[in-house]
Amino acid sequence: MLENKNSRTELSALGEFGLIHELSKHVTIKNQSTLKGIGDDCAVLDHGGKKLLLTTDMLLEGIHFDLAYVPLKHLGYKAIAVNVSDICAMNGTPAQVLVALGISNRFSLEAVEELYSGMLLACEKYGVDLAGGDTSASRSGLTIAVTAIGTGEEGKIVYRSGACETDLICVTGDLGGAYMGLQLLEREKSVFLDNPKVQPDLDGNDYILERQLKPEARTDMITLFRERGILPTSMIDISDGLASELLHLCHASGKGCQVYEEKFPLDHLTSERAKEFGLDPTLCALSGGEDYELLFTLPLKQFDFIKNDPNITVIGHVTSQESGCNMVTRGGSLAEITAQGWDAFLRK
């Protein structure tokens, strides 16, 4: 794999995407049925003319969640939702999930049932069947790995790679809320650790807490696309922050982008709390992550289909690769977009 067997490359030097890139160099596709392998939100498989979408996402205790403040039921819901979100990102319809659990003896049957109740609630909500999985003892903590399977209509699967110059860049919902929810939960946890007698002060923050603890996959947007005859040219879900996902779309499409800071959809509460925490709301949207909204590009001529929709915001347009990826700030200057998305290997 790596040329010099004696050398040692730290994963932190590569980052998550660098590592995936390194690994993918050694992967070749053998089966004609594998239409798309590594590099998008889902793999795309062709089985007898039917297009299947396949994705997997893992949640690890201590990395992705902290049971000090994440209720197990919410965690179960989120584990399903984040996988369904990747099916949405391909313009697909989710159908089944497989659930693999690594559980330490710290957990009781009742606790695992609580986790499962959240998973089943999400399965109900998204119309998917929990069709199997795997269970193992774990030395430490809880691991949840979910695989989701969905279907895509012929000619309507949307990849990261289809953006064209002048296409509009759109996002669903609002951004940065999940990150602010996390900041709030982390703050209350440290207050509690300093003084266990102090009750958590989370009142009035339901929206951002829900964005963090119980995110939704935007299956409703996929239905809306179908109903209105909207077909994005490219799409990705926003799991790592707008900046990182914009760069993925532009890179995969061989294009650049120009987005406008003033257009970023930010919920009022997100902005308020960000300011209280001394954070820039724009940075929360760009680098926060876990919003699970959809970022997509749309030909100009489809603008009429979305222009009055309160759930969809146009934030900019696709440019040539040579122009780079830029944000026009509120002050009118141009700032280059860099990936500061959530990256497990870089997080201290």
Cβ nearer to ligand ADP, comparing 25 with 197: 25
23 binds, among ligand ADP, Mg ion, none (CB under 5 to 8 A by kind): ligand ADP
The verdict on 291 binding Mg ion (CB under 5 A) reads no
Other C-beta atoms closer than 10 Å to the C-beta of 132 total 11
The count of C-alpha atoms lying within 13 angstroms of the C-alpha of 11, restricted to the half-sphere facing its C-beta, is: 11
Q: Look at residues 237, 215, 238 and name the one whose alpha carbon lies nearest to residue 80.
A: 215
In the bound complex, what is the minimum distance in angstroms from residue 29's beta carbon to ligand ADP?
A: 12
In the bound complex, what is the minimum distance in angstroms from residue 199's beta carbon to Mg ion?
A: 37
Q: Which residue is nearest to ligand ADP (CB)?
A: 41
In the bound complex, what is the minimum distance in angstroms from residue 134's beta carbon to ligand ADP?
A: 17
Residues at the contact surface with ligand ADP, assessed by CB under 6 A? 20, 23, 38-41, 57, 86, 239
Q: Output 66-70 pairs: Cβ under 8 A, ≥24 positions apart.
A: 66/185, 66/189, 67/142, 68/189, 68/192, 69/185, 69/188, 69/189, 70/185, 70/213
In the bound complex, what is the minimum distance in angstroms from residue 342's beta carbon to ligand ADP?
A: 10
The verdict on 86 binding Mg ion (CB under 5 A) reads yes
In the bound complex, what is the minimum distance in angstroms from residue 60's beta carbon to ligand ADP?
A: 13
Sign of CA dihedral 293, 299, 300, 301: negative
Query: What is the rounded distance in angstroms from the CA atom of residue 283 to the CA atom of residue 265?
Result: 12
- Rule CB under 5 A: choose which of 57, 237, 261, 290 binds Mg ion: 237
Query: What is the rounded distance in angstroms from the CA atom of residue 4 to the CA atom of residue 25?
Result: 16
Cβ nearer to Mg ion, comparing 72 with 339: 339
Cβ nearer to Mg ion, comparing 244 with 319: 244
- Can you name the residues that pair with 54 across neighbouring β-strands? 43, 149
Cβ atoms 162, 297 nearer than 8 A: yes
Q: How many residues bind Mg ion (CB under 5 A)?
A: 4
Q: Which residues bind Mg ion (CB under 5 A)?
A: 41, 86, 89, 237
